Structure 1
């Protein structure tokens, strides 16, 4: 009889390369340190961009999870962003604790996603994309007509976020809050990806029929990941409402949802850090275009025209030359050099 040689445990094999774990953790630690240090060196205008970048990253991580891992195309993430903003704003204006409004924002956004997701997720491909963008249009139309949302004028006088005697009064406090939210969203997404449901989501994205034949509850998983991505957008919307102090239908245009898709594709669909990289790249690019578009002598429509043109050019360039996105391309290049 042939004697079998025992296989070494995984932890022992991993221990053969003690520096590999450090190399994986070190970039995240550096990014975290820079993130915490930046608010102390930025002025108010730069802090505003920094906060909006973090809010965009929060939503884009959900888009990357939904499209990159579950294979569901959604062009209506701006709707859940709006639901979170209106939820936090309405509760705070009506006299509720601001912190309760912030906590309710992702919950209400996820609940709204479940309600609309039950019929919408029966669709696939471009039909689902059109249905989600139609949902945002309907939601914005209702928000512009209902009295308790402020109508077209919007919801004004949203108080500052605080708990008890403590209140966030300056932009740096909101910057730390925003990036704490980004860290939470990334942690939750990472745990979902490496779990057993995460493997089922990847199978679902490859083939729903094959996943269903393997015992994966396709409908339930699609609805759960749809609600989870909506909760991320709702949390970002709640922070936005308290930081700006004002929400209106014009605060959540359809272009915003397109922007999140572009960020996810540019950074790298199906990657957690890629969503952050894409959000940073597009946000900084848009800010630069706004500076150019608002320069003396430029027409009033220049900023919007430049934004649309750049989105198209960036998507074409990424799809042609970096189909996996910026972060996977850079990572692959570093691995080849190493």
Structure 2
């Protein structure tokens, strides 16, 4: 609980300390942390694997964008984004969640590829050109224009996500989810409705991603299939693994570490003399290297590793 309070306090202060030129990166970092929080809940607590979380991010973004460009109040578009993503996940999850392990991972990845194909071919979504002219978010006549306003909007969404996740994990349903991750057979024998819980947490993680996607749509003002590549889903998984799956603050730690690393790689890959494909290739290579290092030396992620060091430090004192 103390760690969560510290993280929330840091998030509230951060927009005031981050230089204005870096606020855009900070906003994307916080939005990624929101998605990863849902993914950590799905993979860390419920034991389900998803390589297509960016598809629900895209669902939320396109829901908000399409509604707003068709004269629906932007605030309603933002509220609809997580709902549509959750409904989509429920429809998709009914057949997919019969799968396990690698089969489920590849199925979720295939879902994203199908969605990207539909978006690139569908005139209703702007096709390959993308959806343009998305208005700024407005609530009760107040319009969000400045980066710092979107930064605090994203921070508010992340804080709500973390608090809800904390209360869920501490509840009876949360204990059922932890049992589910340990052994589905044992959980079912203990009376846990395995199928219903699997579907519910899948939909909840999608809703969280959809909320982040809705904020992204209003902040950027443009959406295209290229905004949600497969690499983005892999990035979310890497963030969850590095930060520590099955932890409350792990998503924030993982998103921060990977976002900073991506920025460093991007700056390095775009230097004069570097080929155009350098940033992408370097990202894939570093993601793979990070996963190998984390699995070897920090199998549970950064946050659990720090938690294990605390008792040792007290003993040493």
TM-score range, shorter chain: over 0.9
What are the within-5 Å matches in structure 2 for residues 324-335 of structure 1? 324-335=300-311
Distance in structure 2 (CA, Å) of the matches to 1:34 and 1:212: 40
Distance 2:173 2:141 in 1: 42
* Distance of 2:8 and 2:94 partners within structure 1: 38
Conserved in 1, the CA contact under 8 Å of 2:4 and 2:248?
no
Pairs aligned (count): 314
The residue number in structure 2 matching 1:299 is: 275
Q: How does 1:1-338 map to 2 (within 5 A)?
A: 24-25=1-2, 27-338=3-314
RMSD (Å) for aligned C-alpha atoms: 1.1
Distance 1:202 1:129 in 2: 20
Runs of 4+ in 1 over 4 A off after TM superposition: none
C-alpha distance 191-30 of structure 1, shift in aligned 2 (>3 A): closer
Residues 136 and 313 of structure 1, relative CA distance in 2, 3 Å threshold: same
Residues 337 and 78 of structure 1: is their aligned pair in 2 closer, same or farther, counting only changes over 3 Å? same
Q: Secondary structure at the match of 2:226?
A: helix
- Alpha-carbon deviation of 1:120? 0.2
Higher mean C-alpha deviation, range 186-195 or range 27-36: 27-36
1:34 deviation in Å?
3.0
Residue 28 of structure 1 deviates from its aligned partner by 3.8
1:156 alignment partner, SS class: coil
Hey, what's the Cα distance between the residues in 1 that align with 2:108 and 2:292?
A: 23
Structure 1 Cα separation of the partners of residues 27 and 243 of structure 2: 19
Name which of structure 1's ranges 181-190 and 39-48 shifts more when overlaid on structure 2: 39-48
**CA distance, structure 2, for counterparts of residue 32 and residue 208 of structure 1:** 33
Shift of 1:148: 1.3
Q: Matched residue of 2:124: which SS?
A: coil
**SS of the residue 1:296 aligns to:** coil
C-alpha distance 28-116 of structure 1, shift in aligned 2 (>3 A)? closer
Query: Structure 1 222/43 Cα, relative in aligned 2: closer, same or farther at 3 Å?
Result: same
CA contact (8 A) 2:4 2:249 kept: no
Give the equivalent residue in structure 2 for 1:19. none
State the 1:30 CA deviation.
3.8
Matched residue of 1:155: which SS? coil
| Structure 1 gap ranges (5+) | 1-23
Give TM-score scaled by structure 1 length: 0.91
After TM superposition, give the deviation of residue 331 of structure 1 in Å: 1.7
Task: Tell me by how many angstroms 1:37 deviates.
Answer: 2.5
Name the SS for the 1:83 alignment partner: helix
- TM-superposed deviation, 1:165: 2.1
